[in-house]
Structure 1
Amino acid sequence: MAREQLGICAEANLHGSYLLCNVLDGQEAILRQKLARIPHIMQRLAEHFSEAMLSGLVAVSSHYWDNLYPWQRPVGLQAFPVLPSEHLAVSCTMADLLIQIRSDRLDVNYIALQQIQQLLMANVEVVEQLSGFRYLDGRQLTGFIDAPQNPRGLKRRQAALVTADESAVFAGGSYVHFYRASLDLKHWQQLTLPQQEDIHGYVKLDAKPLSMARLQPNSHLLCCQLNEQQQLPILQQNMPFAHNSNQGCLHLSFSQQPEHFVRQWCYRLGLNEGRYYDSLLDYYRIDLAAAYFAPSVSFLEAAAHGSLNATASDVY
């Protein structure tokens, strides 16, 4: 049975650290071996600092996957969708690797980052090093509770992890979308509480959905749903960030089926018939975005040892 990486279905933490890296030329063979060691570094540190609830993952971008694992590709792995919309501009990044570390101790994050960077320093260059934090009781910087309808319990695995029925090779892996959304906090804070709640579709205090009589069709809540009762099966691990005059949210989303991401963006941008543009996007600017696949620990180990065999269903 495939073993997923610790960070995919982990519960929320206090601190998040993110590395976006580009791989130097000709490093693929040694990198396959080193990437397989990262989950073991995370597991060892998680056991040593058990109270920190450390977890993490490594994911490979859609544009770099074929360089690293040319014999097999996740069927639905595609670039971050840049959809035609006058409402939102998205700047995509070409970072080859995403490494995420989360825990309840910032010093443990630092130790994990240090060990991983020492492992990879001869093979990659760091494009971005980002940090996120838990704000109040799990809220965004808008003051609203983040992702109140996120899958819980076993539904987290069902939403995020590829099953063996879908792909024997990539079972236990997950499609990942990562983006940084900068918040126009000045203009957001000028809104009244009822205006903010109408935009979100939730009560600010406890994240209960607004009554149907009050719920606006362009609210964030309705624009992210399949229908009035059902959310798209996407697991979110978002964390606020803030430095200098820039602040917002680092969005990390997981799904077993990457088309859910495209579907969600089509809904939010009002590109489907009968759908409205998500008014919350008026207060955000996405200046960094990319699509990745986080393979299982089993896949990483097999690829490091050269023991993977391609199957017709997994080769593109």
Structure 2
Amino acid sequence: MAREQLGICAEANLHASYLLFNALEGQEAVMRQKLARVPILLARLAEHFSEAQLTGVVAIGANYWDSLYPGARPQGLQAFPFADNDNLALAEVWADLFVVVRSDRLDVNFIACQQICQLLKPDVDLLEQLQGFRYLDGRDLTGFIDAPQNPKGSRKRQLTLVDPITQPVFAAGSYLYLQRWHYDLVHWQQLEISQQEEIMGVSKIEGTLLQPPRLHPNSHALTSRLGKAENLPPLVTQNMPFAEQNSQGLINLSYASEPDSFNRQFGFQLGCQPSRQGEPGHSANQYDLFFDYCHADLCAAFFAPSLSFLEMACRPTGK
């Protein structure tokens, strides 16, 4: 049975570090060997710093996959969708590799990232290193509970891990989408709490869905549920706020067992899905209301293969 990377379904941590790399051409055989060693490195550190609850994820960019693993490709793996949309400016980053490190100790994250960079050099260039942190026991910088509807338990595994029946080669892998959102907190904080709640579609304290008529059809919560309150979100998210002197926002990771899950949800939020046409009160300009208070400057699509796949693919014969 294929074994998934432990960071995909891990519980929330206090700190997260994100490494984006570009790989040098002609080093694919070496990279396959090194990427198989990253989970081993993380497992060793997790055992040494057991109280830190360290986990991680190694993911390969959609545009680099065929160079690294030419023998097979996950179904539907493609570059980040909706890069050109009238309702939201999206900036796609062309990253070959993405490594996520999460734990309850920032120093352990630092050690793990340092060792991963040492392992992968000189065959990669580090494009960017991002840092996220847990805020007010799981709230977003808007003050709202982050993803209160996130699935739990077996439902989480069902939504994130590729089914072995549909794609046996990629069983226990996961489609991964990265977005970095910058918040306009100056204007957001000028809103009344009742206005913020109607934009988000949930109560600010409890995180529960508002009741009609306060529940706007284009609220953040309802568009995440494809327009119906009874729907469960089709994705599992791992979000972390980030904050610098002049920039604050959210690093959003979305995991899915099939790529259409993300396309459906994000397309619905952008107001560009055909299924939205004909809905009561719908117009071509309707989209997630929260998009008026944020913008994404970094978007990328990856696939996080199973540990079994990483180990198998690094063998000289590829078998």
Under TM normalisation by the shorter chain, which class is it?
Answer: over 0.9
Q: CA deviation at 1:132?
A: 0.2
- Matched residue, 1:134: 134
Aligned residues of 2:140 and 2:146 also touching (Cα < 8 A)? yes
Aligned residues of 1:232 and 1:260 also touching (Cα < 8 A)? no
Gaps of at least 5 residues in structure 1 are: 310-316
Counterparts of 1:266 and 1:20 in 2: how far apart (Å)? Answer: 25
Aligned residues of 1:80 and 1:92 also touching (Cα < 8 A)? yes
Aligned residues of 1:78 and 1:291 also touching (Cα < 8 A)? yes
Counterparts of 2:56 and 2:83 in 1: how far apart (Å)? Answer: 30
Q: Please say if 1:221 is aligned against 2:231.
A: no
Which secondary structure does the structure 1 equivalent of 2:298 belong to?
strand
Counterparts of 1:139 and 1:115 in 2: how far apart (Å)? Answer: 31
Q: Please say if 1:19 is aligned against 2:13.
A: no
Gaps of at least 5 residues in structure 2 are: none
1:288 to 295, 298, 301: 298
Q: Within 5 Å, give how 1:1-316 maps onto structure 2.
A: 1-82=1-82, 85-226=85-226, 227-271=228-272, 272-273=276-277, 274=279, 276-308=286-318
Q: CA deviation at 1:231?
A: 2.4
CA deviation profile, 1:155-196 (whole Å, cap 9, x unmatched): 111110001111111001000000100001111111110000
Aligned residues of 1:87 and 1:282 also touching (Cα < 8 A)? no
Counterparts of 1:189 and 1:307 in 2: how far apart (Å)? Answer: 58
Distance 1:129 1:83, change over 3 A: closer
Counterparts of 1:206 and 1:144 in 2: how far apart (Å)? Answer: 9
Which secondary structure does the structure 2 equivalent of 1:141 belong to?
coil
Distance 1:202 1:28, change over 3 A: same
CA deviation profile, 1:211-235 (whole Å, cap 9, x unmatched): 1232111111111113220123211
Normalised TM-score (structure 1): 0.95
Aligned residues of 2:234 and 2:262 also touching (Cα < 8 A)? no
Q: CA deviation at 1:119?
A: 0.2
Aligned residues of 2:238 and 2:253 also touching (Cα < 8 A)? yes
CA deviation profile, 1:23-46 (whole Å, cap 9, x unmatched): 012110100000000011111111
Taking only aligned residues, the RMSD between alpha carbons, in angstroms, comes to 1.1
CA deviation profile, 1:97-144 (whole Å, cap 9, x unmatched): 000000000011011111101101111000000000000010110000
Q: CA deviation at 1:154?
A: 1.1
Q: CA deviation at 1:96?
A: 0.5
Distance 1:251 1:127, change over 3 A: same
Q: CA deviation at 1:7?
A: 0.7
Please identify, of 55-64 and 222-231, the stretch whose mean Cα deviation from structure 2 is larger: 222-231
Q: CA deviation at 1:307?
A: 4.8
